[in-house]
Amino acid sequence: MDALLIVDFQVDFCPGGALAVADGDRIAHPVNALARRVGLVVATRDWHPPDHGSFAGARVDAELWDGADPPAVWPVHCVQDTPGAQLHPALDAELVDVVVDKGLDPNSQGYSAFQHTGLATALRARGVTHLYVAGLATDYCVLNSVLDALAAGFAVTVVTDAVRGVEVSPGDSARALRRMQEAGARLMDSAAIAGG
């Protein structure tokens, strides 16, 4: 069965939000169109505690941090139960079957939809073998979610017109797409998927 994984299409990642991705809100149309065509729709949310270690000014205990790399420093964003952490209103919430919260551990970056969420097991239990992946941001949470989905044995198609990147450095999104493709993901735009 096919499923759509919508990564972090949240208020704080869209224009006007605390960590806005340029044109992040423009993924709504292809996301909603694809959500109407698949058997299961899963939306993730960054759902950070107020003291998350990736926030600028946070104090991080290197011995507790989950991962070899030090935390990337971001503005405070997607704090649990705040307006910025909610799914973007342009997403048709009635099409979403499951919401998965991630990034709850203050000592872990929490980029991937599969990190400490049980998502792979839940998808397998529903018979999902292939994921269409859309969302924000191409070069961080989408990238890590796709790589983990592939490692977990799912076939993955990245919906190229339904992702947008942070672009901390110019070209980060293009590099992320290449990396996903090299790892085994297919890259397709929503028109090609609809026509196929």
Partners of 163 in the β-ladder: 135
DSSP label at 55?
Answer: B
Pick from 162, 139, 17: nearest CA to 85:
17
Q: Which of 14, 46, 78, 141 is catalytic?
A: 141
Angle between helices 172-183 and 143-151 (to 10 degrees): 10
Phi, psi of 132 (to 5 degrees): -90, 135
**8 labelled catalytic:** yes
Catalytically annotated residue among 46, 102, 139, 148? 102
Of the candidates 8, 46, 139, 148, the residue annotated as catalytic is 8
Alpha-carbon Rg for the chain in angstroms:
16
79: three-class secondary structure by DSSP:
strand
Please say if 78 is a catalytic residue.
Answer: no
* Three-state DSSP class for residue 6: strand
Q: Please list the active-site residues.
A: 8, 102, 141
